[in-house]
Amino acid sequence: MWWIRLKALIIKELLAVLRDPKGRMILIGPPILQLFVFSYAATLEVRNVDVMVLNRDAGRWGYELVQRLDGAPTFRRIEHTQSTAALHDAINRQRVIAAIHIGPTFSRDIEAGRSADVQIILDGRRSNASQIVGGYLSQIIASVAAETPAGRQAAPSSVTVIPRNWFNPNLIYQWFMVPSLVANIALLIGLVVTALSVARERELGTFDQLMVSPLRTHEILIGKLAAPMLIGLFHVSVYITAAVFFFGVPLRGSLILLYGSAIFYLASVVGLGLFISSLSKTQQQAILGAFLFMVPATLLSGFATPIENMPEWLQPLTLVNPLRYFLVIVKGVFLKDLPLSEVAGNTLPLAIIAAFTLGTAAWLFRRRLA
- Give, as ranges, the residues between 103 and 162 that touch other proteins (CB under 8 A): 110, 114-132, 134-135, 137-138, 141-142, 144-146, 148, 150-151, 153-154, 156-162
Q: Does 200 bind other proteins (CB under 8 A)?
A: yes
Contact by Cβ (8 Å): 194, 279: no
Q: Write the CB contacts of 367 (distance below 8 Å, at least 6 apart in sequence).
A: none
> Residue 101 — φ and ψ, nearest 5°?
-115, 110
Q: Which of the ranges 52-60, 78-86, 227-235, 294-302 carries the binding residues for other proteins, by CB under 8 A?
A: 294-302
Q: Does 331 bind other proteins (CB under 8 A)?
A: yes
How many residues touch other proteins under the rule CB under 8 A: the total is: 140
**Phi-psi domain of 168 (left: phi exceeds 0; alpha: psi -120 through 50; beta: other):** beta
* E strand or H helix that includes residue 353: helix 340-369
Kindly tell me which of 82 and 308 has the beta carbon lying closer to other proteins: 308
Q: Does 62 bind other proteins (CB under 8 A)?
A: no
Footprint (CB under 8 A) of other proteins, residues 19-48: 19-20, 22-23, 26-27, 30, 34, 37-38, 40-48
Residue 323 CA to residue 346 CA, distance in Å, equals: 11
Q: Does 234 bind other proteins (CB under 8 A)?
A: no
Q: Does 190 bind other proteins (CB under 8 A)?
A: no
Q: Which of the ranges 238-246, 260-268, 309-317, 347-355 carries the binding residues for other proteins, by CB under 8 A?
A: 309-317
Indicate which single residue of 73, 83, 85, 163 sits in contact with other proteins (rule: CB under 8 A).
163
Q: Write the CB contacts of 203 (distance below 8 Å, at least 6 apart in sequence).
A: 282, 283
Q: Shortest gap between Cβ of 85 and other proteins (angstroms)?
A: 14
Q: Does 231 bind other proteins (CB under 8 A)?
A: no
* E strand or H helix that includes residue 53: strand 49-55
Q: Shortest gap between Cβ of 339 and other proteins (angstroms)?
A: 8
Kindly tell me which of 58 and 317 has the beta carbon lying closer to other proteins: 317
Indicate which single residue of 72, 171, 319, 340 sits in contact with other proteins (rule: CB under 8 A).
171
Q: Write the CB contacts of 85 (distance below 8 Å, at least 6 apart in sequence).
A: none
Residue 38 identity (one-letter amino acid): F
Footprint (CB under 8 A) of other proteins, residues 267-286: 280, 282-285
Encoded one letter per residue, x for contact with other proteins by CB under 8 A and - for no contact, window 69-98 reads -------x--------------xxxx--x-
Q: Which of the ranges 214-222, 229-237, 240-248, 267-275 carries the binding residues for other proteins, by CB under 8 A?
A: 214-222
Indicate which single residue of 28, 111, 167, 344 sits in contact with other proteins (rule: CB under 8 A).
167
CA distances from 114 to 24, 104, 106, 148 (A): 70, 14, 9, 11
CA distances from 127 to 88, 123, 138, 177 (A): 17, 7, 16, 22
Kindly tell me which of 271 and 302 has the beta carbon lying closer to other proteins: 302
Give which of 41, 279, 280, 353 is closest to 181, Cα–Cα.
Answer: 41
Residue 273 CA to residue 171 CA, distance in Å, equals: 35
> Residue 50 — φ and ψ, nearest 5°?
-100, 140
Q: Does 342 bind other proteins (CB under 8 A)?
A: yes
Residue 163 CA to residue 171 CA, distance in Å, equals: 11
Residue 269 CA to residue 351 CA, distance in Å, equals: 11
Q: Shortest gap between Cβ of 261 and other proteins (angstroms)?
A: 15
Residue 239 CA to residue 265 CA, distance in Å, equals: 15
Kindly tell me which of 162 and 256 has the beta carbon lying closer to other proteins: 162
Kindly tell me which of 43 and 67 has the beta carbon lying closer to other proteins: 43
